[in-house]
């Protein structure tokens, strides 16, 4: 059965243009790493085909909004690092994030408490979202050191810190 109407708007994504755009970004910022946000099914254009095109073109990492989006990419055999922007919302999600080797954004202390309950043989790369004055959901600047306190005695591992206004994450030294 044909729809009762003809769609007036369609969007067609040219995957060669996606790869070309990544090449242009690399041309303009040759020493930068590129993390492609392909959340919400690449804004309705298909996260898997866009992700495959970007991975073939050498993207450094992907960012997704939630665990379900990361699962879709892993099930499609995309191997680039994936950052979970909303972080984990339960111990079950934390365990799955560790199993899938996802990078996790930490917005608040309760998320750290969840992550601390994971076994030490499942290390995660963490990104700390710090409040840069926009008052978004993030660790406040003033108690920022308390974000790091749980990791003071942790073995060296891949920790990263970031903020909405920092274009490049920094690797803190843990003492």
Give pLDDT tens digits for 32-60. Answer: 999 999 999 888 889 999 999 999 999 99
70 or 174: whose pLDDT is higher? 70
pLDDT > 70 in the chain, percent: 72
pLDDT given at position 165: 33
Distance CA 26, CA 6 (A): 40
pLDDT value of residue 116? 82
> Six-digit token pair at 136?
């978004």
- Greatest Cα pair distance, the chain, in angstroms, is 67
**Is pLDDT at 169 greater than 60 in this prediction?**
no
Residue 130, pLDDT above cutoff 80: no
Count the Cβ atoms, other than its own, within 10 Å of residue 139.
Answer: 23
pTM score of the predicted model: 0.76
How much is the pLDDT for 168?
A: 37
Evaluate if residue 162 carries a pLDDT over 50: no
167 has pLDDT over 70: no
| Whole-number pLDDT of residue 164 | 36
- For the residues 13-42, what does the mean pLDDT come to? 94
Check residue 31 and give its pLDDT.
94
Question: pLDDT digit string (tens) for 79-105?
Answer: 999 999 999 999 999 999 999 999 999
Q: Where are the domains of the chain?
A: 32-85, 107-175
């Amino acid at each position: 059965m044909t729809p009762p109407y003809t769609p007036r708007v369609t969007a067609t994504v040219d995957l060669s243009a996606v790869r070309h755009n990544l090449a242009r970004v690399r041309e303009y910022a040759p020493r930068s790493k590129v993390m492609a946000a392909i959340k919400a099914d690449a804004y309705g254009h298909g996260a898997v085909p866009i992700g495959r095109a970007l991975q073939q073109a050498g993207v450094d990492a992907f960012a997704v909004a939630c665990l379900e989006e990361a699962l879709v990419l892993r099930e499609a055999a995309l191997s680039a690092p994936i950052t979970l922007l909303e972080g984990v919302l339960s111990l079950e999600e934390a365990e799955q994030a560790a199993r899938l080797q996802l990078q996790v954004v930490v917005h608040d202390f309760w998320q750290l408490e969840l992550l601390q309950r994971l076994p030490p043989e499942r290390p995660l790369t963490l990104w700390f979202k710090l409040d840069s004055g926009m008052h978004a959901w993030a660790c406040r600047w003033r108690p920022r050191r308390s974000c790091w306190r749980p990791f003071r005695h942790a073995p060296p591992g891949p920790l990263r810190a970031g903020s909405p206004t920092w274009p490049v994450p920094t690797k803190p030294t843990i003492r």
